[in-house]
Chain A
Amino acid sequence: GNSVTQMEGPVTLSEEAFLTINCTYTATGYPSLFWYVQYPGEGLQLLLKATKADDKGSNKGFEATYRKETTSFHLEKGSVQVSDSAVYFCALSSQGGSEKLVFGKGTKLTVNP
């Protein structure tokens, strides 16, 4: 079945540091890939997505590239801010429609001033 593995946290960085959160997946076919973010006390929000190989999703300074050859979708940001402190979830859905998302376990990021 489909599955997502993301790096375990927590991750603690200083402001302006470079961020990478690794995500790899196992799936049949050609899934769509997502990163969701959950700020403290809130539900999840879609951060970015990519629907086919070599696509790059980007939003709010975050980027992730769909790498079919390495089955990866790593999240990166060049300079994190305190306001980026949150839990980040990698997810995939099957080709042709979401129907249901398969989530990773989440990575908690704390950014210190």
Chain B
Amino acid sequence: DVKVTQSSRYLVKRTGEKVFLECVQDMDHENMFWYRQDPGLGLRLIYFSYDVKMKEKGDIPEGYSVSREKKERFSLILESASTNQTSMYLCASEDRIFYEQYFGPGTRLTVT
């Protein structure tokens, strides 16, 4: 079974802190994604990556950056957390044969 794990299920940070959210997948997938999920807005794509050291902006990249130093790991970075970044963050990896995305359990981040 594909497994996508995220470093924390719940996280509370203060405004202005630098926040790292990590995602690891064990299926050797090239493609990885970061989304945020907010009530009434569904899922919105923040960043994605096709390969190591490659990244592409999604629909809402402002205030975020990413890092992909190893194929299995894709990190989302909030350089200076703000209260409007309080959200559920979901990581996904994707196989390139069937183009199906596999999601992690999510990290619920609260910025106070």
Contact = CB atoms under 8 A, between A and B. Distances in A.
Tell me whether A and B are bound partners.
Answer: yes
Interface of A: 32, 34, 36, 41-46, 49, 89, 93, 97-101, 103-106
Interface residues of B, number: 22
Given A103-B43, A104-B42, A105-B41, A43 B100 contact: no
Given A100-B58, A103-B43, A106-B42, A46 B101 contact: yes
Interface of B: 4, 31, 33, 40-43, 45, 48, 58, 90, 92, 94, 96, 99-106
Contacts, number: 49
B105 A98 contact: no
Contacts of B42: 89, 103-106
Contact of B100 (A42, A46, A103, A106): A46
Contacts of B101: 44, 46, 98, 101
